[in-house]
Each structure stands twice: as C-alpha cells, then as structure tokens.
Amino acid sequence: MQPLAGIRVLELSRILAGPWCGQLLADLGAEVIKIERPGRGDDTRHWGPPFLADTAGAPTGESAYFLAANRGKRSVTIDITRPAGQDLVRRLATTSDVLIENFKVGGLARYGLDHAALRAELPGLVYCSITGFGQDGPYAHRAGYDVLIQAMGGLMSITGEADGPPLKTGVAIADLFTGVYASTAILAALRERDATGEGRHIDMALLDVQVAMLANQAANYLIGEVVPERLGNAHPNIVPYQAFATADGHLIVAAGNDDQFRRLCAVIGRTDLAGDPAYATNADRVANRERLVPALAGALATAGTAHWVGALEAAGVPCGPINHIDQVFADPQVQARGLRRDLPHPLAGQVPSVPSPIRSDGEPACADRAPPTLGADTDHVLAQCLGLDADEIARLRADGTI
C-alpha cells in the first residue's frame, strides 16, 4: 500500500517526534530523505546499548532506538553550517513536497532554511516545525524533552499509584503522539495544496499535544471542576476497570457496562455484589469504588490468571493478562497480525522491526527498506535529485560539506 507514492519529504529532524512522523509517511509510500550531520548523524544512532550486531556478531553502531524510528528513509549527510551545505538543502527543498524540522525556534533562520526564507521561493511547500513549546508564547525558545513535557502537561500528575510519586509512561508518548498528529496535519495540508497550490507552515508543539492528550481527564477537570489525581491502574470514570492481583500474577478487568459487571460477579461467585443497589450502575460503582474494589480483589486472588482469563472470556467479560514484552511478541494474536517484520540490512543481514499498524483493504502499510546507515544514500540522492556528477560529489566530500 503506497498512497503517498510520488511525495517527497525532506526530514531535518532527529531524536523521536520528527523521525516518527517521517517514518509514518515513509510507511505510506513517501520518499523520505533524512538529512544528517556528517560523521555523527542523528543523536539517537548512539543511544544504546543495545546496538544491532552485524552478520559476524560484532556491533554495527546502529542503536535499537534509531532503528525504531527511521524505517524506509534515505540518509544523506550534509553540513548545514556551511554555505555549500545550505545550498544543497535549499535545492533539495525545491524538489520536495514536505519539509519536517525540529530545530529550536529560529534555529534554521541563521542558515536561510526557515519557513519564511523558503516560502517566497516555494509557496507550495508544506513546512512542518516540531518544537517543545511552539513558535510563540513565553516558553517558545525553551528546549522541550518528552519527560519534561509529560511533567508540565499534566500526564505525570495522573500516572502512578495514589500514594506513590508521579510517574512518566514507559515510552516517550508525547514525542510519539506529536509525530502522529504532525503526519495527520501534513496529509491535510497536502490535500489543501493540491486544491489551492499553497502550502502551509505547520506548528506542532509537544506541550500542545500533551495537553490535548489529556482527553477525558482534561474534560473531567474542565467540566467537573475537580483536579484529577493518580489512581494507579484504575479508571476515573469506570469501575471496575483496572488491574487485580491473582494467585500467580495480575489480571486486567475492564467491565465497561452494567451487564458485563453482572457477568463478572457471576464468574467470581459474588452475585451478591451484582444485586447490591450500591453497585447497580456505573455511576454507583464509581461513587462506591472504595468498598467494591476490595471485594472484587478478594475473589480474584483465589485463582490464577489463566483460570480467570478463560472463565471471564467465556462469559464475555473483557479481560487480559499483563504481558512482558517478550510475551507480547509470543502472543498468537500479535503473531497472526504480523507485528514483527524483518527487513534486509546491509550490515546485519536483516533487522527486526515493528511495522506500521495501518492496514487498508487487508494490505499493511510498511516501508520495505530498513533504517539507513549514516550517509548511505548521499551520492544517490545528490545525483538523482540535483543532477550532481561524481566529480562534484567528490569535491563536496573532500571539503567536508557531505
């Protein structure tokens, strides 16, 4: 599936939010050209261990972190601090439909590669800027990192046990969501450009995304005027909808309606709870969770996780085990859906990856190119896109521009 075939994306981003956006566009068929610093490249290439091993078992220097976010791209090394490098990027922009960058506000202006500088010459370019706090406001010039954004954006205040410290999530969720929101905005801008010929300057801020991601918790505060607190694995608006200890582990029970709650009570032998007026509706159960949850916990602790999963599934009560990541990739549903894909790699022979979850008409959307080694495509892209010959490329390499 390649609905974006023919779209060229110039990616001047690093770390996670911008690369995640670029990878999603690559999975949908866009040609993504990633501009990296000569000699070092994207910082995340060095964020390990673990590092990918080559066919002889030696480390390649390619970190798992980098490999997670750069599938399907071409790597071109250009030193944009040099006038010749700036000229190369500007010329590549003239051949591109989209530019993604995550420099600090104003950071590209010194090189003549900011939106204002390019827009006059390239009015149809969709230019996406990703920063921590956006292009304006009192924090615009601050650096933004995911854990900082999770803290300032309220997520950590509602993550963790009620009597424990605030916690971040196990992945950089503000970065990842920003990448997804950015790709959506880019696709909308491309559709508009096709109709009007005009591009857009997309301003994506991690803080904006994090606040938007508060979703029902933000609405709980704005409407209910009560500040949400940490509830561990429990849900602020649904009971029971949380983790419970079993005789040999833990189980998630997600009884989202009254009928599921009654079936849960029948399976665990507590029909008295289903008949209690204090728990008749979800609103009642939320109001009385302090009494209800311990009663459910006591019943569920009497047998193992596998027993309860089998019995509750048979009764139509949503539930499941809490899997470690090795168990995730061993899960038959995950395997049936093809959520591991090995891609050919020039050093390692192949590299395992998690493909895009997008499917359309049964066809998965996933680039078939492994994340590139640093500068692997420099000569090819400069020759193909800009028409440079071998001597010109050799001169640029000799003077350190590429």
Within a 10 A sphere around the Cβ of 311, how many other Cβ atoms?
16
Q: What does the block give as tokens for 14?
A: 């690093």
Q: Report whether 264 contacts 314 (CB < 8 A).
A: no
* H-only helix segments in 95-205: 115-119, 146-152, 173-196
C-alpha closest to that of 186 among 94, 107, 97: 97
Pair of tokens at residue 179? 């990448």
Q: How far is CA 270 from its chain centroid?
A: 41
Provide the b/e sequence for 333-359 (b: ≥16 CB within 10 Å).
eeeeeebebebebebbeebebebbeee
Q: How many CB atoms lie within 10 A of CB 5?
A: 10
Q: What are the tokens at 270? A: 């507590």
175 given a catalytic annotation: yes
Identify whether the C-beta of residue 80 lies closer than 8 Å to the C-beta of residue 109: no
Annotated active-site residue in 146, 175, 208, 377: 175
Number of alpha helices (DSSP H) and beta strands (DSSP E) in the chain: 17, 15
Residue entry with tokens 């994506």: 204
- Give the β-pairing of 126-131 and 201-205: parallel
Q: To 5 degrees, how large is the angle CA 269–CA 275–CA 279?
A: 100
CA dihedral angle for residue 303, residue 305, residue 306, residue 307, rounded to 10 degrees: 30
Task: Supply the residues annotated as catalytic.
Answer: 175
